Structure 1
């Protein structure tokens, strides 16, 4: 199983778990498709009024797309378009306006930001760490930085994206910059997220979903315009896949956490 679902009919809360701990919950193409289907399905489940998304195993929330699958995505020749299998893995991309809380333990990096960027808020265990390895391996961080620029100060997003694998943002620093709304003891993020989700699910549904929609409308225009630029920036700036693979193999350097 790669995506597991748990529904609590009493509280109205569902938990979506990326369930591939042996690969740090890296997303396969099948998982990406499954996530989209899960979010769309929740639109029709009136009994589910709030959702938590998390990763299994405690070592990672998600480490982006599985590199073994990434090379299987054919790309058009135009520099102005790209087929990105992670574009539609988030709830907002699938027109779901029920509140989603992310519970983060361990690593959250790269493509994980597609999911984190579309959650209402994040709760993290104290050992969680956020980073974006794209530049280290000759790839443009475009979609990821757009998502994070909606949640963090510009300078903090720029530093995380440009420093690549050399630096990780601790849960405490993520809290200080506004990316994370609450830091728990290690292993406590899911319980805290469930508790918050149960509160949201107990309120009148129309009021909650309307508030979610209003919050996103405040930044939707800027976000949409920025995401529209991402495909050709990726196409023009990325190194060829074979060169990326070489860098991935050779640049396994140490990092520091701040």
Structure 2
């Protein structure tokens, strides 16, 4: 599949999706969001893809925000539609994928860029990463899930401060806040992320998908995460992965999960 604004490649079970608009600091426009949706959908449906890594091209930015020129003259209804469509097509879509998604945050992750990183299942930052939601400095608020996901990750007070001051935090502060799981050097960011992906790939993809569903349910309005966990736990007993995993344990060997 050929894209204009992103790159996508699979190697050893890992699909790496790279936003490739370096002259725009990888800013998200409508076309890039559509291409990202297609790339994530293709990777999620590919049985050979076990983990997805999302990153940005170059050394300056993961994604430096949304392409403001596309919506600077929008009406109230157009603005609402922009947020609704973007969340459905990309941000909520990524958050609920059954394939694990890791954001390798290299450089600036601002506005929609940080919202994309937060949509991933977890994040790893380069030492030069800078993160923030500066929308109020433009007379806006985060519209791609930022007001919801940031408090879930860093707590209400810290999210309020970050959003209201429009300030950036560095990688060390992001690690302290729990916004990222690890920090790596710029040169080692992808290899470090691939190392964690390798650990994930040793385990049952069916069980991992069930775990993602169960964890996410605890953050959804009207959903009872405990009930979802019970349901998903029970379903695991009917899978080939469960049979292989338990048999391998009893036989004291490494499991070879079929992913079914």
| 2:120 corresponds to 1:119 | yes
Structure 1 gaps, min length 5: 224-258
| 2:149 corresponds to 1:152 | no
Q: CA deviation at 1:95?
A: 4.8
Q: Deviations over 1:201-242 (max 9, x none)?
A: 23221111111111111212289xxxxxxxxxxxxxxxxxxx
Alignment match, 2:40 = 39
**Greater mean deviation of Cα atoms: 36-45 or 82-91:** 82-91
Q: CA deviation at 1:187?
A: 3.2
Q: Distance in 2 between matches of 1:174 and 1:118?
A: 16
Q: Deviations over 1:111-146 (max 9, x none)?
A: 113312221111001110111111111112353121
| Structure richer in helix, relative to its length | 2
Q: Distance in 2 between matches of 1:195 and 1:172?
A: 21
Alignment match, 2:22 = 21
Alignment match, 1:83 = 82
Task: Indicate the structure whose relative CO is greater, using CA pairs within 8 Å and at least 6 residues apart.
Answer: 1
Q: Distance in 2 between matches of 1:179 and 1:147?
A: 10
- Residues 74, 83 of structure 1: 8 Å contact kept: no
Q: CA, structure 1 residues 64+92, in 2 after alignment: closer, same or farther (shift >3 Å)?
A: same
TM-score (norm 2): 0.76
- Residues 35, 90 of structure 1: 8 Å contact kept: no
TM-score (norm 1): 0.77
Alignment match, 1:246 = none
Q: Distance in 2 between matches of 1:207 and 1:20?
A: 36
Q: CA deviation at 1:188?
A: 2.4
Q: Distance in 2 between matches of 1:203 and 1:74?
A: 48
Alignment match, 1:200 = 200
For residues 173-184 of structure 1, the aligned pairs below 5 Å read 173-184=173-184
Alignment match, 2:68 = 67
Q: CA, structure 1 residues 127+93, in 2 after alignment: closer, same or farther (shift >3 Å)?
A: closer
Q: CA deviation at 1:94?
A: 7.8
Superposed CA RMSD in Å reads 2.2
How many correspondences in the alignment? 217
For residues 84-103 of structure 1, the aligned pairs below 5 Å read 84=83, 85-87=85-87, 88-90=89-91, 92=93, 95-103=96-104
- Residues 101, 123 of structure 1: 8 Å contact kept: yes
| 2:3 corresponds to 1:7 | no
Q: Deviations over 1:45-99 (max 9, x none)?
A: 100011100001010110221122234766537x9x4332532223635852110
| SS of equivalent to 1:65 | coil
**Greater mean deviation of Cα atoms: 197-206 or 124-133:** 197-206
Alignment match, 1:221 = 221
Q: Distance in 2 between matches of 1:131 and 1:90?
A: 17
**Greater mean deviation of Cα atoms: 29-38 or 110-119:** 110-119
Q: Distance in 1 between matches of 2:72 and 2:97?
A: 29
- Residues 39, 94 of structure 1: 8 Å contact kept: no
